Amino acid sequence: MAYDQKTFVRTPSEYAEEVVQINRISKKTKGGNKVSFSALVVVGDKKGKVGVAHGKAADVASAIRKAMSAAKKHLFEVPMVHGTIPFDIIVKKDAARVMLKPAPVGSGIIAGGAVRSVVVAAGIQNISSKVLGSSNPASNVYATMEALKTIAILHKKAQARRAKRSEKKGDN
């Protein structure tokens, strides 16, 4: 949902937006404590595009708005085959390790909170996952995004190989 700037009425957005984490930050200054907030938001169109971003501001609403705006600028395409990912992958990013596996049609999304938010926003219907390592939602979201980006790169390379192979067969 987005806000209309003039009337401040929520208008439906073409993206699925989910707030994964909100943190309260307190900074010691000469004049006392300065309180601000940070928000981690996942945005996706449920058709294969997903993005994640972190926003910081003096109040929660502004932090969420900034994060959503940044996430929409960093969307990327996730390859899907029959509503799932093309192959399984294990990715380690910082302290988090995430394992994503394709699942048969009808099995649904078998994933924990942080991974689930990314996968649902991307529009993947059948997937099995396991979070290994960190229990921090932010780390797990970034590790999941890294896994999906790696899958996108590897899937693109595989398609190029298939195209090259079929081109060679056509020449013979």
- Predicted pLDDT of residue 153: 94
- Beta-carbon contacts of 150 under 8 Å, excluding residues fewer than 6 positions away, are 89, 91
Spatial distance between the Cα atoms of 35 and 82, rounded to a whole number of angstroms = 47
In the three-class reduction of DSSP (H, G, I as helix; E, B as strand; rest coil), residue 81 is classed as strand
Q: What does the block give as tokens for 71?
A: 């996430």
Which residues, listed in sequence order, are joined to residue 3 by a DSSP beta bridge? 10
Domains identified in the chain and CATH numbers: 2-73 (3.30.160.20), 78-171 (3.30.230.10)
pLDDT interval class at 113 (50, 70, 90): confident
Give me the residue label for tokens 């899907």.
80
- For residue 63, pLDDT beyond 90: yes
The pTM of this model reads 0.87
Spatial distance between the Cα atoms of 83 and 81, rounded to a whole number of angstroms = 5
Phi, psi dihedrals of residue 158, rounded to the nearest 5° = -65, -40
- For residue 10, pLDDT beyond 90: no
Q: Please name which of 54, 42, 6, 65 lies closest in space to residue 115, comparing C-alpha atoms.
A: 42
Mean of all residue pLDDT scores within the chain: 91
